[in-house]
């Protein structure tokens, strides 16, 4: 029969074995828990990375679209400036062409007669004064009645004013009563037809007006 000392030693040995067993179980459980925690953390990190990547992509797409739109606006503004510059350049060419027409006396005489005829028709059969520039006064003063007769016949009473008109060509017709006036000067025609001229410039890809027929004859 075991002595008291042997029984105590056996009990101690059983306790140690049980403690060792508990320790092993806790270590195993801790390892499993640690692995699970690590896996959860990795999954969370992965999800955070995916979320950050998605957010970065969305931000990058927005920034890209913003830059594209800003570039498009800048390009459009530059195109508009260039287009307006071309229109203005062509309008200056129109004015230069009118000066050239005025300096070509033979061509100008044909156009001037048309302007007299159109202006007189718009005024009607009332006594009128014709105002022309100083250079045209020198050209037409001596044979004014003949010129009017050639382009209008005897239907209109148009007297030539001795006061020069401030214009580059063409004429103004003023009722002698002073209450009616039509402007058939080059400047007046360009102002009235400016919108149409600009439209023609756009339609013809900003090319200069090749002939003045559209301006004078519609």
pLDDT one-digit tens code per residue, 100-118? 989 999 999 999 999 999 9
pLDDT one-digit tens code per residue, 201-216? 777 765 544 444 445 5
Q: How many structural domains compose the chain?
A: 1
Domain range spanning residue 171? 105-217
Q: Is residue 98 one of the residues assigned to a domain?
A: no
Q: Is residue 57 one of the residues assigned to a domain?
A: no
Other C-beta atoms lying within 10 Å of the C-beta of residue 155:
13
Rounded to two decimals, the pTM is 0.57
Per-residue b or e along 88-123, where b marks 16 or more CB atoms closer than 10 Å to that residue's CB:
eebbeebeebbeebbeeeeebeebbeebbbbbbeeb
Q: Strand 170-175 to strand 158-160: parallel, antiparallel, or no bridges (unpaired)? A: unpaired
Task: Please provide the DSSP assignment of 19-81 as one string.
Answer: HHHHHHHHHHHHHHHHHHHHHHHHHHHHHHHHHHHHHHHHHHHHHHHHHHHHHHHHHHHHHHH
pLDDT one-digit tens code per residue, 27-45? 677 677 777 777 777 888 7
- Phi/psi for 174 (5° steps) reads -120, 130
pLDDT one-digit tens code per residue, 60-99? 778 878 877 877 778 777 766 777 777 777 777 877 888 8
Q: Residue 166: which CATH number? A: 3.30.2320.30
pLDDT one-digit tens code per residue, 115-164? 999 999 999 889 999 999 999 999 999 999 999 999 998 889 999 999 99
């Amino acid at each position: 029969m075991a002595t008291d000392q042997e029984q105590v030693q056996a009990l101690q040995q059983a306790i140690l074995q049980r403690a060792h067993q508990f320790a092993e179980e806790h270590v195993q459980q801790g390892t499993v828990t640690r692995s699970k925690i690590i896996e959860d953390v990795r999954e969370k990190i992965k999800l955070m990375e995916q979320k950050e990547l998605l957010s970065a992509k969305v931000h990058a797409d927005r920034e890209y679209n913003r830059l594209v739109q800003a570039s498009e606006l800048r390009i459009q503004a530059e195109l508009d400036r260039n287009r307006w510059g071309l229109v203005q350049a062509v309008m200056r060419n129109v004015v230069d062409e009118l000066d050239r027409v005025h300096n070509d006396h033979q061509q100008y005489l044909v156009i001037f007669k048309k302007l007299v005829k159109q202006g007189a028709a718009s005024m009607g059969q009332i006594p009128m004064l014709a105002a022309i520039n100083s250079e045209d006064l020198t050209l037409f003063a001596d044979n004014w009645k003949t010129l009017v007769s050639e382009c209008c016949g005897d239907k209109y009473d148009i007297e030539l004013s001795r006061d020069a008109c401030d214009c580059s060509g063409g004429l103004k017709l003023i009722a002698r009563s002073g209450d009616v006036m039509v402007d058939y000067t080059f400047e007046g025609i360009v102002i009235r037809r400016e919108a149409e001229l600009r439209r023609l410039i756009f339609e013809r890809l900003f090319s200069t007006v090749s002939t003045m027929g559209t301006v004078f004859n519609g």
